[in-house]
């Protein structure tokens, strides 16, 4: 056993469990690929200021949860705590918005890092798949992204999730609500950190999960009562588009999400089988983020779905994914000459698209067959000196035990026929 262990709050993905994570990533990405979203990959660390400006200096992410470091050259960097700011920065740096085909539609997958108190479903290192549509203000785009996430979850077999929906207004109507909320919050019995947050971004107080705070928020002004006519109309169009596509949602006037850059549409996917960490993903519109990080005005919308929590949601519903076997065929050579011949057969099977493994290490027949059974393979290709003299190999069904000689030059065809 190694002297070292994975850092607290992190985890290793190893087979066979890692196969479920890969399947979840693929399932979330599949509808995005069919909808014009191209893949983008950004560095695992960025300038601290990118997140301070975009995510928000008053957020827990920036004030308490970012992993920061100073380079030898004196640069202040942070391990990325979320994906949107990085993807938008990359799109601006590459001038994708100047190509004349807006919105720029991008999807990504990767690891993110936050210094949080570790618990089930809440890690310091976690995996997400995200999507961003940059440069267009259209309720159909908001609805599209919600539907794509909904369809991805449905394709995995998930049923017990809910979509919470709200509008946060815009620069025209939010200031009046902000002032009314600040007046309400200032009269409450809150700690100093929360009082400072009231002056920076009072909406963040609504997102406080502490029971003592939530009890005092009863009767707080509701943002929906302060929306301008344009924001009301925009939000109603999003709702109508979702309803027309049969996507159920719940209006949640208290939903604000944990990032400062959201405007208008905001949404969250929650699963009631996960306890306190019920959010499996979410997102919203962020029309002002580009300007916050020094870019032009680019109204945008996006989401991120947690791979870790989606896997937990599958477990909560008792769903076992139909995963392809890691190995379909296992080759067992009996003797040095058979080893050389079957090594070539293994290569041919792999090139034909058949997942094939080999009895490495000079195992005897008994140990090799045990390895074949442990691999989960359905078939074994076995060859000894006599088989080679006759120009055949033995094709054994590891489930039934039935064994059939097959011409050496017909192994690929025979295997594919057996596997269907």
Render pLDDT for 256-313 as a digit per residue (tens, 0 to 9): 776 667 889 999 999 988 877 789 999 999 998 999 999 999 999 999 999 999 999 9
Predicted confidence (pLDDT) per residue in 150-160, tens digit: 999 999 999 99
Query: What pLDDT sits at residue 244?
Result: 97
Lowest-pLDDT range, 101-115, 188-202, 355-369? 188-202
113 among the known binding-site residues? no
> Among residues 316, 347, 368, which one ends one of the domains?
316
Q: State yes or no: 257 annotated in a binding site.
A: yes
Give me the number of domains the chain comprises: 2
Do 76 and 119 fall within a single domain? yes
Last residue of a domain, one of 249, 282, 316: 316
- Average pLDDT on 54-81 reads 83
One domain, residues 132 and 57 = yes
Same domain, 169 and 135: yes
Give the domain extent around 141: 17-173+227-316
Q: Which residue has the higher pLDDT, 124 or 117?
A: 124
pLDDT above 90 (res 402): yes
Phi, psi values for residue 164, rounded to 5°? -95, 140
Strand 45-47 versus strand 125-134 pairing type: unpaired
Out of 293, 316, 339, a domain closes at 316
Q: What is the CATH number of the domain that holds 360?
A: 3.40.50.800
pLDDT value at position 297?
Answer: 93
Cα separation values, 152 from 32, 284, 370, Å? 9, 17, 38
- Helix H segments across 94-217? 139-155, 174-186, 192-200, 203-206, 211-216
- The mean pLDDT value of the chain amounts to 91
Q: Could you tell me if 377 and 341 lie in one domain?
A: yes
Indicate whether 386 and 258 sit together in one domain.
no
Q: Worst-scoring range by mean pLDDT, 133-137, 199-203, 233-237?
A: 199-203
Q: Is 159 annotated as a binding residue?
A: no
pLDDT band with cut points at 50, 70 and 90 for residue 206: confident
Q: What is the pLDDT of residue 281?
A: 95
73 with 23, same domain: the answer is yes
72-85 burial code (b ≥16 CB/10 A, e <16): eeeeebbbbbbbbb
Q: Does 238 fall in a domain? A: yes
Q: Where are the beta strands (DSSP E) in 205-295?
A: 250-251, 263-271, 279-285
Q: Residue 114 annotated as binding?
A: yes
- For residue 57, what pLDDT is reported? 62
Q: Higher confidence at residue 61 or residue 229?
A: 229
Q: Would you say residue 342 has pLDDT above 90?
A: yes
If asked whether residues 246 and 361 sit together in one domain, one would say no
Q: What is the DSSP letter of 172?
A: T
Provide mean pLDDT across the span 120-149: 95
For range 134-161, the mean pLDDT: 97
Question: Does 204 fall in a domain?
Answer: no
Check residues 66 and 151 and name the one with the higher pLDDT.
151
- The answer to whether 261 is a known ligand-binding residue is yes
Q: What's the average model confidence in pLDDT over 333-361?
A: 94
The pLDDT assigned to 411 comes to 95
Let me know whether 73 and 150 are in one domain: yes
On whether the pTM is more than 0.85, the answer is: yes
Do residues 333 and 287 both lie within one domain?
Answer: no
201 lies in a domain?
A: no
Residues 255 and 397 in one domain: no
Residue 82 φ/ψ region, left for φ over 0, alpha for ψ in the -120 to 50 degree band, beta for the rest: beta
Of 179-183, 195-199, 407-411, the range with the highest mean pLDDT is 407-411
Residue 39 known to bind ligand: no
253 in the same domain as 118 = yes
Is residue 197 situated within a structural domain?
no
**Per the domain annotation, does 209 fall within a domain?**
no
Same-domain pairing of 306 and 374: no
Interval 325-347 mean pLDDT: 93
| Residue 21 maps to a domain | yes
Q: How confident is the model at residue 201 (pLDDT cuts 50, 70, 90)?
A: confident
> 103 preceded by cis ω (within 30°)?
yes
Task: State yes or no: 132 annotated in a binding site.
Answer: yes
Asked, for residue 3, whether it belongs to a domain, the answer is no
Higher pLDDT, residue 315 or 63: 315
Q: What percent of the chain has pLDDT over 90?
A: 70
Q: Looking at the predicted structure, is the pLDDT value of residue 388 above 70?
A: yes
The domain spanning residue 235 has which CATH number? 3.30.930.10
Report if residue 36 sits inside a domain: yes
């Amino acid at each position: 056993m190694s002297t070292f262990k994975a850092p607290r709050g992190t985890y290793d993905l190893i087979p066979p469990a890692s196969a479920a994570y890969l399947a979840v990533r693929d399932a979330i990405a599949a509808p995005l690929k069919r909808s014009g979203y191209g893949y983008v990959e950004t560095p695992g660390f960025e300038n601290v200021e990118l997140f301070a400006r975009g995510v928000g200096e008053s957020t827990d992410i920036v004030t308490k949860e970012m992993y920061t470091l100073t380079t030898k050259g004196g640069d202040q960097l942070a391990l990325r705590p979320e994906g949107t700011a990085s993807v938008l920065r990359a799109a601006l740096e590459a001038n994708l918005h100047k190509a004349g085909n807006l919105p720029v539609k991008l999807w990504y997958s990767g690891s993110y890092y936050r210094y949080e108190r570790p618990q089930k479903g809440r890690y310091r290192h976690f995996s997400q798949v995200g999507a961003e549509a940059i440069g267009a203000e259209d309720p159909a785009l908001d609805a599209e992204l919600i539907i794509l996430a909904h369809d991805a979850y449905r394709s995995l077999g998930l049923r017990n999730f809910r979509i919470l929906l709200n509008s946060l207004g815009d620069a025209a109507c939010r200031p009046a609500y902000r002032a009314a909320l600040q007046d309400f919050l200032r009269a409450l019995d809150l700690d100093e950190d929360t009082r400072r947050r009231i002056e920076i971004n009072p909406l963040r107080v609504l997102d406080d999960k502490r029971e003592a705070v939530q009890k005092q928020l009863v009767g707080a002004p509701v943002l929906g009562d302060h929306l301008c006519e344009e924001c009301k109309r925009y939000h109603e169009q999003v709702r109508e588009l979702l309803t027309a596509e049969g996507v159920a949602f719940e209006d949640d006037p208290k939903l604000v999400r944990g990032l400062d850059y959201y405007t208008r549409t905001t949404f969250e996917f929650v699963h009631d089988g996960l306890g306190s960490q019920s959010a499996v993903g979410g997102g919203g519109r962020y029309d002002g983020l580009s300007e916050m990080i020094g870019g032009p005005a680019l109204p945008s919308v996006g989401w991120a779905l947690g791979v870790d929590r989606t896997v937990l949601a599958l477990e909560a519903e008792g769903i076992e994914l139909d995963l392809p076997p890691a190995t379909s065929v296992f080759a067992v050579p009996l003797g040095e000459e058979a080893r050389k011949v079957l090594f070539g057969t293994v290569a041919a099977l792999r090139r034909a698209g058949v997942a094939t493994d080999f009895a490495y290490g000079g195992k005897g027949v008994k140990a090799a067959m045990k390895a074949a059974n442990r691999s989960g393979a359905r078939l074994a290709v076995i060859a000894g000196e006599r088989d080679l003299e006759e120009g055949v190999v033995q094709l054994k069904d590891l489930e039934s035990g039935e064994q059939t000689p097959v011409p050496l030059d017909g192994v690929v065809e025979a295997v594919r026929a057996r596997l269907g």
